[in-house]
Amino acid sequence: MAMSAPPPASSWLEWTAEYTKAAQAESRPPPEWAARVAAASAAAGEGGDVPWSAGLAEVLARALLSGGAAAPAAAAAAAWKYAEAALAARLASPALLLAILSTRVIPQRFSRPMEYRLYLELLKRHGFSFHYQMKAANFRKIMGLIDGNLSLSKIFGISTCQPGVFVVHFVLCILWQLVDVVLDDEGLLELTPEKKAQWPTRPEDVSTFEGTFTEHRTEKIEKLQKMNTVTTMELIEHLLRNKVITRILSLARENMQSHWGAFTNRLHLLATNSSTLQNSAISLEPFQQLILGDCNVYGETKHNMRKRFHPIVASNPLSSPNGRCLGASYSALWIPIDMYLEDCLDGSIAATNSIEILSGLVKALQSVNRSTWHDAFLALWVASLRLVQREHTIRLVVKLLSPSDPIDYSGRESLLIKLGPMLNVILSGISAVDYAPIFSFHGLIPELAAALMAICEVFGCLSPSVSWTLRTGEEISAHTVFSNAFILLLRLWKFNHPPLEYCVMGDGAPVGSQLTPEYLLLLRNSQVLSPSSLAKQRSVQRQLQVPTSHPSCEHPIFMDSFPKLKLWYRQHQACLASTLSGLAHGTPVRNNVDSLLNLMFRKANKGGTSIGSISGSSSISNSSGPGGDDLHLWPQLPAWEILEAVPFVVDAALTACSHGRLFPRELATGLKDLADFLPASLATIVSYFSAEVTRGVWKPASMNGSDWPSPSVNLSMVEEHIKKIVAATGVDVPRLVTGGSSSGTLPLPLAAFVSLTITYKLDKASERFLNLAGPALENLAASCPWPSMAIVAALWTQKVKRWSDFLVFSASRTVFHHNNDAVIQLLRSCFAATLGMSSTSVCSCGGVASLLGHGYCPGGFSPVAPGILYLRIFRCIKDCSILAEDILYLLMLSVKDIAETTVPRQLSDKLKTTKYGTRHGRVSLSAAMTQVKVAASLGATLVWLSGGTALVQSLIQEMLPSWFLSVQNLDQGGTRGGMVYKLGGHALAYLAVYSGMFAWGIDPTPVSRRRERVTRSHLEFLASALDGKISLGCDPSLWRAYVAGFLGLVVECTPCWVQEVELRVLKRLSSGLRQWGEDELAVALLRRAGPEAMGTAAELILGSEW
């Protein structure tokens, strides 16, 4: 064959086309053809477009599709050989050639089955070698040509301008074509929703092309067609088993969900209905893995992925929550739910929806523990059924209490006044001490509080002469309705708790932590008026058949709508902030104070005693209290006017008692008379005593039995019982009886308050008072110096012996209120008990049984589980930030204990020579990592419950970075071969992820924007440290274990967090991981970053050495 020299660059492709035709005609060897073409492209210089020439791919496509004129069969065969040689020598672009062939050969596979078979062989050999192609200078040109041929951008709706995105589209397109081919061959395309292929599979689907095919319907060809269907299916299986392909497909699954759903539907149709697949030896496993999403970014099962993320342990999924008490095993990983439920049962009232918090907690633990949803919800199912019925009831209650008046609630003509008897029945029914937490569980505290504020505003302006006579003959006054609503409102608000409890802040903190009723109204407005809340409320109303709310309920409510309540609240704040100032003579408030004092202390006034600034010249009869005969003697004033005077009344009475002008018994009797007249005044009395106790200006009262009641009969018994209760913690209990005295002292306001409570009988009539005064007394005594609560317990035990268990247990909690060392020891006991490392634990098996026992059970005194004690005292811890540091410190001590007791020394030595030591002692390492995970989950739960989201933010943003920057010597002398540092890094990773999940959830829409800020800040810190911009002080192995563990958990369990971080930061993290050899994790991190990172992730997959 005589051919002229290769032409210049402008016409070298024309020369190649002519030379190819001549070579086909003469059946020149493929190596010779490839060498001549390579020489021609080299001579053309930059115009040669080699390697991976797009022009040469188009020339070859025409040669393959047109055939030869003189010897068609031989020429066609030669053309396929030349194509193979060109692709093997990297002369032509495989992607472009195969893209052109796919839309031309596939539709003609019935008439030209041999060409289709050769196309499948080229596709298998060269179809997915993108790594080097992407580096070609002309790759963008190739991308454009393929996009024009296959319409990738149009079909997938995403531009293919990025090489990585193009590769994802191309791989999915080619595999989709093959699936459609088999469906079409077996007549299954009609079963798809579209009833047609996405790309051409029949001749009528193809536009006119110069290549034509002749019909050869011979028996041999038909047999070849059937073989081609099997070959196509085998190629699909081969591709689905290819790690690179499955990694690329995982990007499509993550970021092209609608198209991925359509593709997997076809794949499912193929796997379930294909006779070819059923009659062959092809395995269904890769099809099922891809359909079910069980194949990850590494082309492995998810279980294998977890091994790669955490190579130190081969974890198994949780099996069942039924054995949750059996030690520090996988079942112990549900401890956060146990602790949260136990905390809810304490009766604490939260402003947020407890059920939503619990739901988020279950979702988070299901993700990180890798359990099935069936197992996760099995233990909660019965409780959920009960809660659904409760929600119906409490929403109806809130509806009945909600006003239908306009926003102005003042005036005697308010509709609420006409409903007074009904409102009183409802308020009395829900005032039981156990009912308020139910409203808290469903997040209805703000709505209930708004309804109660309206009732208080209206009925507090009415004289007690406004009354109603019930059918039973009982008469109720406006004061009664007001008092029931007011006391319930303040129990929800927990105004009476001393400032000691207000240290606990956060989204899930008690309502009392937010000191203002404005907070509740703002929360109510956000819940009621947000679009999502309105839609949810209407949905619940339809499901539960609750009547639609009145239009006024969908308007914002502010404190200005309640002027009387707002005025009282300002006075309440002033009372808390400073001592009361004197009242000018002749003012209405001063006159009311005088009148109330004269009525309360008639006996003292008869003796000529002056109480405070009030003259004792009263001629009122010597009655012992506001009984039915002398109720008319009490001022017929609205409740708000009486409440305005009460702080001055109590202050004058307590001052008189401190100066000896009033006996303690007379003080208690007078306060009880006031409370009997207007029960709502109890709230102000409690508030005043709480404020005065914290000021510490009153002389202590000696509980000697003469002036004040004596606790000496039971004090020694209370001390012994307290020691038994806290025995499991190892905390020393200070002595109650010192210096030969068996009586003790109490701050005067507390002594007055406990004396007041003792005057009440334990009957139904006093239940309303005790529901308010009981918790207030407990919290007030707990805030006073030791042993105030123990003395109160001894006094009340004398009155009600059946309450001794509860009272002594409450007293035992105060051991920790004023002793930070005792709190740390209690936390240490919690970790030791959970991990089964405590010799004094109530249960030696570890896990939930040792941490929480069976709660607090009355009927005898025995050591109480440390977790129960902590849940009852954490709200009174003064400095939660220091508490988090202590928890972090104790967690690392626990890790050290785990390393010393669980991992053998021989295994620790082997870890020096084998990566992560996974070849040796897998069982020991698995047990160690399980305990580390349990310890971390406990630490995260303690942090979250103790300080809410604010403390979690401080832990992740401040404490952990500071810990990494400082020098930590956990493995002194290197006795554990570095295992302590590796386990410690994983423990900190679990701690951070657990804490974040508990605080902000794992849903794409966070409950707070704080999650995004914290996540961005922490990952920026990690990236800076990996870049070398930050110098670390911790051990390198601990740092590496933390980074890999934290990012691995985030990728696997909380992928939505990744999408909240800038792509720039994620690329830096990915680069740092690749330097460590963590290529899989680097890819997974980018894979979770959303569509904008899909191209970068694909390039990383193709550029790595797999």
- Residue 919 CB-half CA count within 13 A: 7
Tokens of 35: 């060498």
CA dihedral angle for residue 297, residue 137, residue 121, residue 300, rounded to 10 degrees: -10
Residues 6+ apart with CB under 8 A from 400: 422, 426
- Report how far apart, in Å, the C-alpha atoms of 1047 and of each of 347, 988, 989, 993, 1069 are: 37, 12, 8, 9, 9
3-state DSSP helix/strand/coil % of the chain, to nearest 5: 65, 0, 30
- CA 583, CA 895: separation in Å to the nearest integer? 63
pLDDT at 259 (0 to 100): 92
Give the residue carrying structure tokens 């970053």.
1089
- In degrees and rounded to multiples of 5, residue 702 shows phi and psi of -85, 115
Q: Read off φ and ψ for residue 614, nearest 5 degrees.
A: -100, 135
The SS3 assignment for 917 reads helix
Domain boundaries, the chain: 321-339+879-1103, 386-574, 578-698, 712-875
How far is residue 791's CA from residue 433's CA, in Å, rounded to a whole number?
A: 24
Q: Name the CA radius of gyration of the chain, rounded.
A: 40
C-alpha 756/C-alpha 760 separation (Å) is 7
Name the pTM for this structure. Answer: 0.78
Integer Cα distance of 79 and 60 in angstroms: 7
pLDDT of residue 3: 55
Give average pLDDT by consecutive 10-residue segment, the chain, 1106 residues: 54 88 89 91 71 90 71 78 92 93 91 91 90 84 92 86 90 94 91 86 59 55 88 93 90 90 92 89 87 59 48 39 41 75 65 71 79 57 42 72 56 72 85 70 82 92 89 87 90 58 41 64 81 53 47 73 92 82 82 91 62 39 43 83 94 92 92 91 88 86 88 87 84 73 82 89 74 80 86 87 81 85 91 83 71 61 82 81 90 91 59 45 73 94 92 94 86 66 94 94 82 94 94 92 95 91 94 91 90 88 68
Give yes or no for a contact between 959 and 888, defined as CB atoms under 8 angstroms apart: yes
Give the pLDDT confidence score for residue 555 in this predicted structure: 79
| Whole-angstrom distance, CA of residue 802 vs CA of residue 339 | 27
